[in-house]
Amino acid sequence: MSTPAPDHPVPLDSASGEPLHPAAREVLDAALSRGWADPRRLHRSGRDARLLLDNARAVLAEALDCRSDEVVLCSSGTDAVHRGLLGLARSRRRHGTAIVCSAVEHSAVRHAARWLGEERAVGVDRHGRVNVDAFLAAGQAPGVAVAALQHANHEVGTVQPVEALEPLRAAGVPVLVDACASAGRLPLPADGWSALAASAHKWGGPAGVGVLVVRRSARWEQPFPGDDRADHRETGFENVPAALAAAAALRAVLDERETEAARQRRLVDRVRAAAAALPDTEVVGDPDDRLPHLVTFSCLYVNGEAIVTELDRRGFGVASGSACTASTLEPSHVLAAMGALTHGNVRLSVGRDTTEADVEAFCAVLPEVVASLRADL
Amino acid sequence: MSGDDRPVGPVDLELDCRTMLCPQPVIELARHVGDVAVGGVIAVLATDPAARYDVPAWCRMREQEYAGADELGDGVTRYRVRRLA
Inter-chain CB proximity B61 and A331 less than 8 Å: no
The pLDDT tens digits for A81-124 are 999 999 999 999 999 999 999 999 999 999 999 999 999 999 99
Residue A1 has pLDDT above 60, yes or no: no
Mean pLDDT of all residues in chain A?
Answer: 95
Looking at CA atoms only, how far is residue B26 from chain A in angstroms?
7
Chain A residues touching B30 at Cβ < 8 A: 300-301
Query: Domain spanning A10-20+257-376 has what CATH number?
Result: 3.90.1150.10
CB atoms < 10 A from the CB of A37, how many? Answer: 17
Active site residues of B: 22
Contacts of B70 (CB under 8 A, 6+ apart): B8, B77, B78, B80
Angle at A278 between CA A287 and CA A12, to 5 degrees: 65
Nearest to A363 by CA among A344, A341, A348, A351: A348
Residue A311 CA to residue A6 CA, distance in Å, equals: 11
Q: Which residues contact A288 (CB under 8 A, 6 or more apart)?
A: none
- Domains recognised in chain B with CATH numbers: 13-70 (3.30.110.40)
Question: What is the distance in angstroms between the Cα of A298 and the nearest Cα belonging to chain B?
Answer: 10
Domain ranges across chain A: 10-20+257-376, 22-255
Residue B8: per-residue pLDDT = 61
Pairwise CB contact (< 8 Å): B23 & A330: no
List the one residue out of A188, A257, A212, A251 whose CA is nearest residue A83.
Answer: A212
Q: Residue A6: its pLDDT value, please?
A: 52
In chain A, the percentage of residues whose pLDDT exceeds 70 is 98
Q: What is the pLDDT of residues A191-201, one digit of tens each?
A: 889 999 999 99
Q: Could you report the per-residue pLDDT of B57-78, keeping only the tens digit for each?
A: 999 999 999 999 999 999 999 9
Task: Measure the CA–CA gap between A274 and A20, rounded to whole angstroms.
Answer: 29
Could you tell me the end-to-end alpha-carbon distance of chain A, in angstroms, rounded to an integer?
34
For residue B3, what pLDDT is reported? 44
- Partner-chain contact A302 B23, CB within 8 Å: yes
B29, closest residue in chain A (CA to CA)? A301
Interface test with A, best of B2, B19, B53, B55 (most A CBs within 10 A): B53
Between chains, do B22 and A330 touch, taking CB under 8 Å as contact?
no
Q: Largest Cα–Cα distance of chain B, in whole Å?
A: 33
Q: What distance in Å separates residue A358's CA from the closest CA in chain B?
A: 29
- Provide the pLDDT for residue A377: 67
Which tens digit of pLDDT belongs to each residue from A288-347?
999 999 999 999 999 999 999 999 999 999 999 988 777 777 899 999 999 999 999 999
Q: Which residues contact B63 (CB under 8 A, 6 or more apart)?
A: B84, B85
For the stretch A333-359, pLDDT in tens is 999 999 999 999 999 999 999 999 999
What is the least distance, in Å, from the CA of B29 to any CA of chain A?
10
Whether the CB-CB separation of B55 and B29 falls below 8 Å is answered with yes
Contacts (Cβ under 8 Å, ≥6 apart) of A210: A73, A74, A75, A76, A77, A78, A79, A80, A81, A197, A198, A199, A200
Q: Which residues contact A298 (CB under 8 A, 6 or more apart)?
A: A281, A282, A284, A322, A335, A340, A341, A342, A343, A344, A345, A346, B57
- Whether residue B60 lies within 8 A of chain A, CB to CB, comes out as yes
Query: Residues A66, A180, A299, A324: which is the catalytic one?
Result: A324
Q: Is B66 helix (H, G, I), strand (E, B) or coil?
A: strand
Q: Which residues of B touch A343 (CB under 8 A)?
A: 22-23, 26, 50, 54
Q: Is the pLDDT of residue A3 over 80?
A: no
Compare CB distances from B23 to A301, A329, A340 and report the shortest one's residue.
Answer: A301
CA dist., res. A320 & res. A12, Å (int)? 12
CB atoms < 10 A from the CB of A145, how many?
25
Interface list for chain A against chain B, based on CB atoms closer than 8 Å: 280, 282, 298, 300-304, 322-324, 329-331, 335-336, 339-344, 377
Q: Which class in CATH covers the domain with range A22-255?
A: alpha beta
B31 shares contact with chain A (CB less than 8 Å):
no
pLDDT of residue B10: 87
